[in-house]
Structure 1
Amino acid sequence: MTTTRRRGTALVTLTATTGLLLGTASLGAGPATSAEPAGDCATPFPVSELAEGDAVTGLTVTKGTTPESFAGEVIGVYEDGIGPDLDMIMVEVDMPAVAKAGIWQGMSGSPVYAADGRLIGAIAYGLSYGPSPVAGITPFEDMDDYLDEPFEPPARVKVGKGLAARIAAATDVTRAQASQGLRQLPMPVGVSGISQQRIDGAEKRPYLRRGATASAGGTSAAAAGPETLVAGGNMAASLSYGDVTQAGVGTVTSVCNGRIVGFGHPMSFEGETTLSLHPASVLYIQEDPVSPAFKVSNLGAPTGTISEDHLTGITGFLGAVPRATTISNTATYDGRTRTGTTKNTVDTAAASTTFYQIVANHDRVLDAMMPGSETMAWSITGTDTDGSPFELRFEDRYASDYDLTYEVGYELSDLVYALTRITGVTLDSVTSESVISDDSTSYRVRGVQQKRGSRWVPLGKGEVARAKAGKTLVLRAVLAGPEGLSYVPASMKVPASAKGMKGRLSLTGGGWMYSGGNINSVTKAKKVVDAMIRNDEVELSLSLSKKRKNVERTKVVGPADRVVFGSKRVRVVVK
């Protein structure tokens, strides 16, 4: 048996047009750091003192971790351009990389300074039409002053005729292009460890995000250290890291006394939060002719916490990292075994992390999109709303004649999603173990037989099940498989109160059953799990009635050695 280990893989970026589901979590001890970043403790430059034509300088990273300087010129101040009493400063950036690619995604947070060295603000917006040197700046004097009243940041800032004319006069941008307005630079929030094809092919779920547009690297301690978290350097905020990294990469605006602020706009506008803070290293700037270019980056190990996510940017501190849920999958196939693990720092992202972790690990071990079957045993541990610990366990069998990987991830992830929506519930771990086979065959319910004396009598086609009140109805399910017919005992006790009743008996394969319900507490979750029917089991359902009297009984039999599909119904008469 061999064991494989995963290193960093592609981070598929998703434009954050809708808010990620972020929550709060306690903090844990941070990893050891080799050096603390140099603080700049910048002094804000008042917007009221800016004038058209003022020369500015700035810092950003185009490759690696070292900030590069750029020049620029103030076009003007767009009053209330970001929000009420929150102006947007318009600047034309003069830099070879910007001349080539325009203002890019991931440039968000790049500090812009006045001639006297005071900090004007952070690049956060770009023109809507495509590559452009025109940037919208969030004032630094507002970046730590969070608004008391909720305000939804505009997806696009309109540009009037007067401002459009000024932009056109000062730059190579046409008046028509400028009139299309400015928009917040898309935040490249992405998922590593899983391909774009996998994300696009997943079934629609509220916790799975769509719109993969680009790629970057995974998380590695060697990528960048905390000393690179300086003004103009790279910074990232993640929901999870490890096998599956879900993160947004931008730029540091300022660092002071262990506190850090960046981006210049929200990551997802969640207010108080606990995202993991990472340094990052840029591989290159990917050009895009019709939308903002983006930087492709590798993330370093977590080195702090993002605690605030507001209209004017994200803020956090160095040192302690958020408490994490450990999400892992162990997959065994054809002599290969691999355990993939991810640290999930936001409970409400745990469902997507669970799904992506299972898919990523299966793809790594199977190394193909293939049919097959597997048994998966899983466990969820956590803390209930009253502080008491809980554990949920289940084991199931899956089969697919096309792509096994997609069959196995949804059931567990759906349950994790339901648990994370219960206020006060905290997840500690989500663990799954998969044993995979090439055999993709299954059973189908072909019929049901009743034992009468020494004979097994097929039911249906006019032959009803004959039962006696208070006695056991001795049955067996007939399953059709690749080797022919198989039989599963399926007897059921008929209540004495059912005398004279008639009705139906249904046999349904677990592969056709849905196990779920409205889970609004851990207690309800336990009941749902206890009642779950395995895909390789068969459910018997007896429904009898006479006048206004009704009898309902259910029983689960099996498991068989394959997933069971199909259903069969027969009539029942009770004497």
Structure 2
Amino acid sequence: MAGAMLLTGVVAVGPSAAAAPAPDCAVPFPVADLTSGAAVHGLTVSRGTTPQEFTGEVLGVLSDGIAPGLDMVVAELDSPAIDAAGGIWQGMSGSPVYAEDGRLIGAVAYGLAFGSSPVAGITPFEDMQGYLGAAKPAPAVEVGPRLAARIAAETDATRAEAAQGLRQLPMPMGVGGVDLSRARKAARAFGGSELLTADSYRIGRSAGPASAGIDTVVAGGNVAAVLSHGDVTFAGVGSVTSVCGDRVVAFGHPMSFTGKARLGLAAADAVYVQEDPLGVPFKVANLGDLGGTITDDRLAGIAGTFGAAPPSAPVTSKLTFEGRSRTGQTQVLDKSAFADVTLLGGLANHDRLVDGVIGGSETQAWTIRGTRSGQDFRLRYADRYQSPDDISFTGAFDLANVVYTLSTLSNVTITAVTNDVAVSDDERRYRVAKIYQRTGGRWVDVTGGTARVRAGKDLVLRTELAGSDGTTRTFFRQDIPVPKSLRGERGIVSVVGGNLFQDEFFEPTTFDAVQKMMRNNLRNDEAALSLLIGDGRSTFERNRTSDPLPRVVGGQKQVRVQVVR
């Protein structure tokens, strides 16, 4: 079910050393044999790792309620925990519901659309056994007037509320390792996130050295599907429906409905169930041992195999600030998490080490390793960033954009991302202020004016930078030979600071474009001079780039050029 949205804790990087979970190899109860009013019982966890029992009564069966050929069983459930929460909760998805004879009817997976209620939509275990998932997802299930009247008669819901139907219990993503308000702000500036949404919950930190072992992943127990773990954790927590041999089936509905999957299978330890008077209650849980792979993300639930976790790729942020250093690392199991982990992992490491929202500057040096069509590649880039307000935020996006593009390419596999960052509270910067021409044995300010040069001679220019602290710096002398053939022609020379441009790394959409930009992009601490002379039929063009400077450079100045005889 909906992911218990606050996940956390210590995550083992390999299979748990604990004993394997106890199998139950449940026998399915045919939905066709269910009758209205039949007593049911089930297992779920509201606190800790040990499943507790709940009871209930079948209210009816919605034929094709989830999808064509996939019915939904509707039942009213009861237990002290359900009563205390005001109804079933996010994180209860997958909780097994049994008939009186012990056969497994199915998994709690849906709740009334209007809000918190003890009424549950149950995915039949007959269908979960086969891990079905080729049908279209059904975001809402209509309830007919007869069943709506029965729900109203048996529960606190009104007939109008019941008639709104049932919907999949929410599955927001649990996010750990970064302040959620900062993460959402970064995601908005990044152009959105598929993982981090308004419904995502913050992950806490478990209070003790012990974490839930993989042996606690039993029928009715907690289970987590993990996309990344380490500095930044992305995971969804729900409940186990059945374990048989080395396989487990859970949730009773999809997580992301990808069909085939490659997520981490982990245990979880429930802290409590949080009431929510405006929505659906949710389970608060700590992520436990990682001990398997989620292989299927299907319409009727998720399924996985105990043992080795899927291969992971590290995203590493190495940071220094005022003599201190910290290396943060996140292991990414699913490629859909690469960009978000890169963005939020860098931001989290900044916030942890810098320990405040400050203005300043920083240098970054990236290395991205991977394979493209089976061939190894290594991409490298370095730059400088500056902000008067929040240097941690300003420098967070370029690398994440590149990683996003690469992670969406079908023939590219990222194997490691590393960013070496040196942060300073120095907020000073430069801007292009003036352009001088060497003429008549002296330097003449020609900014905004005209530089005249004889055909066949050198056009000699230099640039003056103005510092934000009131200082000036003269640099970047360029001696450009002008051919005799350009007599009488006119042109323009422009000097631009690299920090004038923003968001360049949003643009590339192919591997070749990414590679070209990382090789040729104008750094924020460089300046570029471009000269263009001619009428379009025959043009003379020269481009020069300065060496990197100790500050970012912004601004732009132009000078007209006239070639005289």
Q: Residue type of the partner of 1:43?
A: V
2:104 counterpart of 1:119: yes
2:172 counterpart of 1:195: no
2:47 counterpart of 1:60: no
* More displaced stretch, 485-494 vs 387-396: 485-494
Q: Is the 8 A contact 2:178 2:348 kept in 1?
A: yes
Post-superposition offset of 1:303: 0.9
Post-superposition offset of 1:243: 0.6
Aligned to 2:244: 256
Aligned to 1:79: 63
For residue 540 of structure 1, the aligned residue among 498, 508, 529 is 529
- The 5 A counterparts of 1:513-528 are 513-514=501-502, 515-516=504-505, 519-528=508-517
For residue 433 of structure 1, the aligned residue among 411, 420, 425 is 420
Distance 1:158 1:488, change over 3 A: farther
2:312 counterpart of 1:324: yes
Distance 1:574 1:191, change over 3 A: farther
Q: TM-score, normalised by structure 1?
A: 0.91
Aligned counterparts of 1:295 and 1:29: Cα–Cα separation in 2: 24
For residue 267 of structure 2, the aligned residue among 279, 289, 307 is 279
Aligned to 2:399: 412
For residue 490 of structure 2, the aligned residue among 502, 526, 538 is 502
Aligned counterparts of 1:423 and 1:361: Cα–Cα separation in 2: 30
- The 5 A counterparts of 1:178-257 are 178-202=162-186, 203-207=189-193, 209-217=196-204, 222-257=210-245
Aligned counterparts of 1:470 and 1:274: Cα–Cα separation in 2: 66
Aligned counterparts of 1:551 and 1:129: Cα–Cα separation in 2: 70
Aligned to 2:123: 138
Aligned counterparts of 1:376 and 1:307: Cα–Cα separation in 2: 37
Q: Residue type of the partner of 2:414?
A: L
Post-superposition offset of 1:215: 2.7
Distance 1:389 1:540, change over 3 A: same
Q: Secondary structure at the match of 1:416?
A: helix
Aligned counterparts of 1:125 and 1:176: Cα–Cα separation in 2: 18
Q: Residue type of the partner of 2:489?
A: M
Residues 51-88 of structure 1 deviation map (CA, whole Å, 9 limit, x = unaligned)? 01111110100111111111111011011111111111
Aligned counterparts of 2:546 and 2:501: Cα–Cα separation in 1: 14
Distance 1:321 1:492, change over 3 A: farther
Aligned counterparts of 1:258 and 1:495: Cα–Cα separation in 2: 76
For residue 297 of structure 2, the aligned residue among 309, 315, 326 is 309
Aligned to 2:356: 368
Post-superposition offset of 1:318: 0.7
Q: Secondary structure at the match of 2:384?
A: strand
Aligned to 2:161: 177
Aligned to 2:430: 443
Q: Secondary structure at the match of 1:560?
A: coil
Q: Secondary structure at the match of 1:525?
A: helix
Post-superposition offset of 1:170: 2.0
Distance 1:504 1:172, change over 3 A: same
Aligned counterparts of 2:347 and 2:304: Cα–Cα separation in 1: 32
Q: Secondary structure at the match of 2:285?
A: strand
Distance 1:239 1:221, change over 3 A: farther
Aligned to 2:384: 397
Q: Secondary structure at the match of 1:136?
A: strand
Residues 253-284 of structure 1 deviation map (CA, whole Å, 9 limit, x = unaligned)? 11111001101001011111101111000111
Aligned to 1:21: none
Post-superposition offset of 1:369: 1.2
Post-superposition offset of 1:492: 5.5
Post-superposition offset of 1:517: 7.1
Residues 213-261 of structure 1 deviation map (CA, whole Å, 9 limit, x = unaligned)? 5333368983211101100110111111011000101011111110011
Q: Secondary structure at the match of 1:303?
A: strand
Q: Residue type of the partner of 1:62?
A: S
Aligned counterparts of 2:403 and 2:183: Cα–Cα separation in 1: 19
Aligned to 1:574: 563
Post-superposition offset of 1:146: 4.6
Aligned to 1:480: 466
Residues 273-297 of structure 1 deviation map (CA, whole Å, 9 limit, x = unaligned)? 1011110001111110011111111
Post-superposition offset of 1:555: 2.0
Residues 398-437 of structure 1 deviation map (CA, whole Å, 9 limit, x = unaligned)? 1111111111110000000111111121111100111111
Q: Secondary structure at the match of 2:290?
A: coil
Q: Is the 8 A contact 1:106 1:188 kept in 2?
A: no
Q: Is the 8 A contact 1:193 1:243 kept in 2?
A: yes
Residues 74-122 of structure 1 deviation map (CA, whole Å, 9 limit, x = unaligned)? 0110111111111110010111111121110010000000111111000
Aligned counterparts of 2:95 and 2:454: Cα–Cα separation in 1: 81
2:282 counterpart of 1:294: yes
Distance 1:500 1:212, change over 3 A: farther
Post-superposition offset of 1:460: 2.7
Aligned counterparts of 1:402 and 1:48: Cα–Cα separation in 2: 64
Aligned to 1:24: none
Q: Is the 8 A contact 1:221 1:301 kept in 2?
A: no
Aligned to 2:547: 558
Distance 1:280 1:312, change over 3 A: same
Q: Secondary structure at the match of 1:307?
A: strand
Q: Is the 8 A contact 1:472 1:494 kept in 2?
A: yes
Aligned counterparts of 2:212 and 2:13: Cα–Cα separation in 1: 19
Q: Residue type of the partner of 1:131?
A: S
2:150 counterpart of 1:166: yes
Distance 1:467 1:33, change over 3 A: farther
Post-superposition offset of 1:501: 2.5
Q: Is the 8 A contact 2:5 2:283 kept in 1?
A: no
Q: Secondary structure at the match of 2:220?
A: coil
Q: Is the 8 A contact 2:111 2:117 kept in 1?
A: yes
2:79 counterpart of 1:95: yes
Q: Residue type of the partner of 2:152?
A: A
Post-superposition offset of 1:539: 1.5
Aligned counterparts of 1:334 and 1:354: Cα–Cα separation in 2: 23
* More displaced stretch, 510-519 vs 474-483: 510-519
Q: Is the 8 A contact 1:506 1:568 kept in 2?
A: yes
Q: Is the 8 A contact 1:379 1:430 kept in 2?
A: yes
Let me know the Cα RMSD of the aligned residues.
2.1
Aligned residues: 549
Distance 1:534 1:308, change over 3 A: same
Aligned to 1:42: 26
Aligned to 1:23: none
Q: Secondary structure at the match of 2:317?
A: strand
Post-superposition offset of 1:488: 2.3
Aligned counterparts of 1:97 and 1:119: Cα–Cα separation in 2: 22
Q: Is the 8 A contact 2:310 2:333 kept in 1?
A: yes
Q: Residue type of the partner of 1:438?
A: D
Q: Is the 8 A contact 1:188 1:249 kept in 2?
A: no
Q: Is the 8 A contact 1:516 1:532 kept in 2?
A: no
Q: Is the 8 A contact 2:211 2:288 kept in 1?
A: yes
Q: Residue type of the partner of 2:415?
A: D
Aligned counterparts of 2:57 and 2:371: Cα–Cα separation in 1: 54
Which runs of 5 or more structure 2 residues have no equivalent in the other structure? none
Q: Secondary structure at the match of 2:389?
A: coil
Distance 1:492 1:357, change over 3 A: farther
Aligned counterparts of 1:498 and 1:191: Cα–Cα separation in 2: 63
2:79 counterpart of 1:104: no
Aligned counterparts of 1:301 and 1:494: Cα–Cα separation in 2: 68
2:515 counterpart of 1:529: no
